[in-house]
Amino acid sequence: MYTPQVREKMADKPKEKPSLFNFGAFATPNTCEPPAFTLNAKPATVSSFLSDIIPEKKSNALKLPAVRAVQPTFGLPWRNMEWTEEHKKNLMKTVSSYRPSCEMITGAQVLVLGPVGSGKSSFISSVQSVFHGRVVNRAMVGSISTSFTKKLQTFNIQVKKGEDSGLVMCDINGFGDGDITGLTLHDIVSVIKGHIPNGHKFSLEQPVTSETVGYVKTPSLAEKIHCVVFMVDASKIATYPKSLSATFRMLREQISNLGVHQVALLTHIDQICAATAADVSQVYTSSAIRDAMNKAGALLGMSTSYIVPVKNYSSELDLDLKKDILLLSAVDHILQYAELFFQDNKPKKKQMIL
Ligand SMILES: Nc1nc2c(ncn2[C@@H]2O[C@H](COP(=O)(O)OP(=O)(O)O)[C@@H](O)[C@H]2O)c(=O)[nH]1
Ligand SMILES: [Mg+2]
């Protein structure tokens, strides 16, 4: 049934200290619950999603109270986390030894989705930085292209030089203006189903069809997306347009229908809490961040137990233990939900015919 690694991991589970992060992992996720909203009659396009959602338009903005830059902190942390070198080592070990429990699959494919500027590329780059042992800035971060090109790119996270982890992150790069550059819901669903080849350039004029060059007609389990990660910028939560919430919920319904679990990351936390900007280990005592987590949950239609905050390496030159721990915890969180997909979709063993 399980690979030796997974069996070993499962056997190890109870030995883990209970004080570590509890994301409610392996609890029954609510991702397949029927959504508490009715689908719009026009499901064809996800206008402006993944395009440049400009948060300044106040009239259109979500009516959420503004997040204050500096807020008093709670005395007690609202989530537990060990900020030690030892915990970082353990997390690195867990992440680098992870392999999907479906034997023929070498890596969990995780699609990162969110508005432009939310920190998708930075997150991928930051995770790679942790394993490289130094900050690596990928050219894709903050890249602005004047063309309206959106390209599917996959990144194998390497745990050592030349050694891939069991995690592949997929990013759809691109930068454009307003509604024209949004991907269609059909395109996103095609990516998740595994029909779209790496490097595919999306075009609104030419939506993906079975005639698209490189189109994968019958994707294998390995070619599908196994988990979706939504990115939300904490500093923009109060000003994201109202339509974003409907877009997220529509996407979540479609993705849940495909049996793919979803989690979310809250980025730019340093911009909403000065104490956390100065010391990331303050993250779980910050009321501003807790407040933003609740708002992100409302925006996504998702329980906050699926959401974790991260501080991406943006302008830093050096790694920081606490930022590394937060990033690795996020990866661990993602992998647990990706693994649920494998548990749900394990090929049934053929019955022996005697
Ligand atoms: N302060 C801060 N800046 C961030 C964070 N994450 C990303 N950024 C910056 O936000 C900008 C957009 O990030 P990028 O990764 O390109 O976003 P993407 O469009 O979603 O891929 C870049 O200038 C990043 O350096 C974060 O956690 N904190
Ligand atoms: Mg990007």
Q: Give tens-digit pLDDT for 222-242.
A: 999 999 999 999 999 999 988
Closest residue to atom 22 of ligand 1, CA basis: 142
Is the residue at 37 inside a domain? no
> In testing the pocket of ligand 1, which one of 126, 127, 141 has its CB within 8 Å of the most ligand atoms?
141
240, part of any domain:
yes
CB atoms within 10 A of CB 26: 12
Give the pLDDT score at 34. 33
- Say how far residue 31 (Cα) sits from the centre of its chain: 14
Atom of ligand 1 nearest to the CA of 314: 25
Most confident of 111-125, 195-209, 223-237: 223-237
Instruction: Mean pLDDT check: name the lowest of 114-118, 224-228, 331-335.
Output: 114-118
pLDDT for position 62 = 53
Q: Which ligand 1 atom is at minimum distance from the Cα of 114?
A: 20
Ligand 1 atom index nearest CA of 125: 15
Task: Return the number of other C-beta atoms located less than 10 Å from residue 293's C-beta.
Answer: 26
> Distance from the CA of 76 to the center of ligand 1, in angstroms?
29
Q: Which residues line ligand 1 (CB under 6 A)?
A: 114, 116-122, 141-142, 231, 267-268, 270-271, 311-312, 314
Q: Has residue 4 been placed in a domain?
A: no
Exposure on the CB side of residue 299, measured as CA atoms within 13 A: 31
Least confident of 19-33, 62-76, 267-281, 311-325: 19-33
Residue 262 CA, ligand 1 centroid: distance in Å: 21
Does any domain span residue 32? no
Q: Which of 72-81, 149-158, 172-181, 310-319 has the lowest mean pLDDT?
A: 172-181
CA distance 206 to 31: 31
> Which ligand neighbours the alpha carbon of 271 most closely?
1
pLDDT of residue 330: 98
**Phi, psi at 108, each rounded to 5°:** -80, 125
Residue 71 lies in a domain: yes
The answer to the question of residue 5 being in a domain is no
- Separation between Cα atoms, residue 82 and residue 86, nearest integer Å: 9
Residue 123 Cα: closest atom of ligand 1: 15
For ligand 1, atom 25, name the residue with the nearest CA: 314
Q: Which ligand is nearest to the CA of 152?
A: 2
Rounded-to-integer distance, Cα 154 and Cα 120, Å: 12
Query: Both ends of the chain: CA-CA distance in Å?
Result: 20
Mean pLDDT of the chain: 79
- pLDDT for the residue numbered 174: 56
Residue 117 CA, ligand 1 centroid: distance in Å: 6
Q: What is the CATH number of the domain that holds 145?
A: 3.40.50.300
Nearest ligand, CA of residue 141? 1
Name the more confident of 64 and 133.
133
For ligand 1, pick from 52, 120, 121, 122 the residue to mutate: most ligand atoms within 8 Å of CB.
Answer: 122
Number of domains the chain contains: 1
In a domain, 184, yes or no: yes
Pair of tokens at residue 23: 């994301």
Question: How many A from CA of 118 to the centre of ligand 1?
Answer: 6
> For residues 248-274, b (16+ Cβ closer than 10 Å) or e, as one string?
bbbbbbbbbeeebbbbbbbbbbbbbbb
pLDDT exceeding 70 applies to what percent of the chain? 71
The span from the CA of 303 to the CA of 296, in Å, is 9
Contact 249, 185 (CB under 8 A): no
Domain residue limits at 279: 50-344
Strand partners of residue 143: none
**200 vs 265: which has the higher pLDDT:** 265
**Mutation test residue for ligand 1: of 276, 289, 312, the one with most atoms within 8 Å of CB:** 312
* Residue 23 falls inside a structural domain: no
- Dist. CA 62 → ligand 1 center (Å): 22
- pLDDT above 60 for 150: yes
- Is the pLDDT at 170 greater than 80, yes or no? yes
Contact 114, 120 (CB under 8 A): yes
